[in-house]
């Protein structure tokens, strides 16, 4: 009886181990064969927006490394929600990527009463793509040339100074609110439908200032219509080495701007690792870095899936608190 039980147990254990080995081999085969057809990279915003240049610059070399084309597909609308839902509802097979910005998986959950997806449960992180900062700029006639002078001006004229953003709840809006909180000042927020119109009105003198992306702001800085006061990164930007950080005046102030790649949760782990390895290779290329810098995009930076997941959680907690304190609602 004992020997029979032992023999039966050994047979069961061998069968289990054999099954596990077969499953592991199958997963490995999936990763090795992936991809066998083109991959979609969904940008949840309309063409021509701030996310477009870096998405398209990354897609081509990523496709070359993977051996299949990576096709950028714009699905704009509802603050990035429409495109994000498309990824959440796609098969969990690695053929549909989300080009993420701060909105879809970080701030929208705090801004909107409800979302048609769960930012935590419906997505699996793959890699960071870019990490940059905003530039704080004023109209050229504003009598302030430093963060301290802007703060002093705002305190002398409470509520009179204005700051433009690309929309309610956008990164440029939240950065302005954080500045007001940390500096103890009050400025009036003027939302626009996009970065372009917002910056044009600052350049025309209809709005005092904006804290927004460097790329769209660059032509207006070069023409002299806008004057850069500071940057929101922890360290000075290589593109603007003479422009101080806001943190040099307000210790600890930092606003990072990240873009990243996620896939639908349930995507096989070997495929996530394959995508991550390909992105790490692509983003380390000096030629890509130069092309992205020339396009005004944030510098390329890769990460592990685990690092990206932790970063998304930290950013969500930080901006959730800012949104709550400022009483911001986008819909």
* Structural domains for the chain: 36-131+257-326 (3.40.190.150), 133-248 (3.40.190.10)
Q: What is the pLDDT of residue 1?
A: 43
Average pLDDT over residues 8-22: 55
Check whether 18 has a pLDDT greater than 60. Answer: no
Query: What's the farthest any 2 CA atoms get from each other in the chain?
Result: 95
Question: pLDDT digits over 67-76, tens only?
Answer: 999 999 999 8
pLDDT above 70 covers what percent of the chain?
89
pTM: 0.84
pLDDT above 90 covers what percent of the chain?
76
Question: pLDDT digits over 82-99, tens only?
Answer: 999 999 999 999 999 999
Question: pLDDT digits over 48-60, tens only?
Answer: 666 778 899 999 9
Check whether 269 has a pLDDT greater than 90. Answer: yes
Higher local confidence (pLDDT), 3 or 207: 207
């Amino acid at each position: 009886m004992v020997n029979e039980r032992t023999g039966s147990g050994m047979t069961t254990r061998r069968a289990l181990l054999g099954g596990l080995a077969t499953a592991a081999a199958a997963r490995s085969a999936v990763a090795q064969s992936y991809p066998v057809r083109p991959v979609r990279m969904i940008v949840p915003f309309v063409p021509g927006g701030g996310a477009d240049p870096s998405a398209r610059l990354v897609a081509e070399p990523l496709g070359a490394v993977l051996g299949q084309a990576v096709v950028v597909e714009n699905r704009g609308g509802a603050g990035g929600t429409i495109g994000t839902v498309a990824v959440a509802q796609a098969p969990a097979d690695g053929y549909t990527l989300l080009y993420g910005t701060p909105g879809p998986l970080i701030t929208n959950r705090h801004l909107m009463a409800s979302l048609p997806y769960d930012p935590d449960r419906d997505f699996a992180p793959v890699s960071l793509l870019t990490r940059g900062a905003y530039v704080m700029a004023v109209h050229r006639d504003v009598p302030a040339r430093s963060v301290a002078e802007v703060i002093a001006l705002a305190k002398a004229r409470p509520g009179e100074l204005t700051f433009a953003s690309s929309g309610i709840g956008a990164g440029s809006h939240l950065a302005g609110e954080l500045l007001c909180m940390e500096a103890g000042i009050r400025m009036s927020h003027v939302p626009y439908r996009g970065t372009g119109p917002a910056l044009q009105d600052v350049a025309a003198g209809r709005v005092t200032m904006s804290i927004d992306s460097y790329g769209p702001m660059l032509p207006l800085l070069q023409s002299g219509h806008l004057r850069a006061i500071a940057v929101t990164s922890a360290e000075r930007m290589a593109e603007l080495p003479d422009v101080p950080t806001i943190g040099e005046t307000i210790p600890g102030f930092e606003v990072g701007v990240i873009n990243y790649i996620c896939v639908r949760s349930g995507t096989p782990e070997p495929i996530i690792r394959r995508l991550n390895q390909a992105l790490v290779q692509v983003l380390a290329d000096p030629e890509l870095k130069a092309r992205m810098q020339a396009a005004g995009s944030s510098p390329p930076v890769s990460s592990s899936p685990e690092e990206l997941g932790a970063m998304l959680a930290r950013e969500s907690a930080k901006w959730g608190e800012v949104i709550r304190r400022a009483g911001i609602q986008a819909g």
